[in-house]
Amino acid sequence: MRKLLILFTLLLVANTSSAQLFTKEKVQNNQNMDKKQLSWGYYFGVNNLDFKFDYNDNKGDITTLKSTGFNVGLVGDFRVNDYVNLRLEPGLVITTRELMYPENYFEGIPDTNDSDFLREVKSTYVYLPLLMRLSTKRLNNFKPFITFGIATSLNLSSNEKNPDDNSNGEFRTKKNVLFYDIGFGIDFYLYWFKFTPSIRGVFAINDELVRDVDPNSPWTSNVNSMKTRGVFINLTFR
């Protein structure tokens, strides 16, 4: 994921420092594109998500092993004025995380094995953010912006209603999760369309963990809250 962030940064620097973009007199592509009150597009990208844990007791940290996931979705844009837009970006966010538990969480529990210390958490979020976008004035064929807003999501892989819990190897999370969503990006006005790379930070508001039936469960009893946090890198086409 670090390589993707470096690549994204280099791409922005290379484009924004291009002499073509900073030429004082430049023929603008798609001059009327931003005049439409309603416009549509689509995006795809990657994500890198982990969990933020708060604990009841200081027994050591649960480690999140992250992997790169995938995002895809649609964009609906409502123009308020030249500098403010409202956006609805429904999409699908797919990721997998693994949780590594410290061995001392299982002290006094007989017959533990290596598989007890590891739990795989698969997440498939139907992600629905409502964002406000604040842009600068368009400079030739590019325009930087920031976004912020709130998102609701439905985790199709949550297992929330599964009667089995960690004692049977099933790690459960809540189906409905709320997020803060903030980010930045740049619109590039190409000859036929507008291309927009962006970086977004997402932070869950509510606790996602479903506790085990056993109040002394080594997998859930010491967790006060477990919340998703991470980064999206999206490429949008309009």
Q: Is the pLDDT of residue 3 over 60?
A: no
CATH, residue 170: 2.40.160.20
Domain count within the chain: 1
Q: What pTM, to 2 d.p., does this model score? A: 0.83
CA distances, 215 to each of 85, 100, 106, 211, 220 (Å)? 48, 20, 14, 8, 8
Quote the pLDDT of residue 25.
53
Residue-wise pLDDT for 191-219, tens only, equals 888 999 999 999 999 999 999 999 999 99
For residue 194, what is the enclosing H or E element?
strand 194-204
Rounded to whole angstroms, how far apart are CA atoms 56 and 215? 13
Does residue 78 sit in helix, strand or coil? strand
Note whether residue 121 is domain-resident: yes
C-alpha distance across the termini of the chain, in Å = 26
Q: Is residue 9 over pLDDT 50?
A: no
Q: Does residue 24 lie in a domain region? A: no
Q: Which two tokens stand for residue 129?
A: 């953010």
Mean of pLDDT over the chain: 89
Q: Is residue 79 part of a domain?
A: yes
The encoded tokens of residue 136 equal 């600068």
Q: What is the pLDDT of residue 27?
A: 75
Answer with the residue of higher pLDDT: 22 or 101.
Answer: 101
Residue 30 in domain: no
For the record, the structure tokens of 68 come out as 């790169």
Does 152 fall in a domain?
Answer: yes
Q: Residue 210 sits in which domain range? A: 36-237
Q: Is residue 31 part of a domain?
A: no
Query: Which two structure tokens, joined as six digits, stand for 114?
Result: 């290596």
**Would residue 12 count as lying in a domain?**
no
Whether the per-residue pLDDT at 220 is higher than 80: the answer is yes
| Mean pLDDT for the stretch of residues 219-229 | 96
* Structure-block tokens of residue 231: 């980064």
Q: 3-state class of 3 per DSSP?
A: helix
Q: Which two tokens stand for residue 102?
A: 């410290």
* pLDDT (tens digit per residue) in 105-156: 998 888 888 899 999 999 999 999 999 999 999 888 999 999 999 999 999 9
Mean pLDDT of 59-72: 94
CB of 65 closer than 8 Å to CB of 230: no
**Nearest CA among 208, 156, 199, 157 for reference residue 178:** 208
Give the least confident one: 28-32, 86-90, 132-136, 229-233. Answer: 28-32
* Confidence label for 18 from pLDDT (cuts 50, 70 and 90): very low
**Strand 38-55 relative to strand 84-88: parallel, antiparallel, unpaired?**
unpaired
- Decide if 7 is inside a domain: no
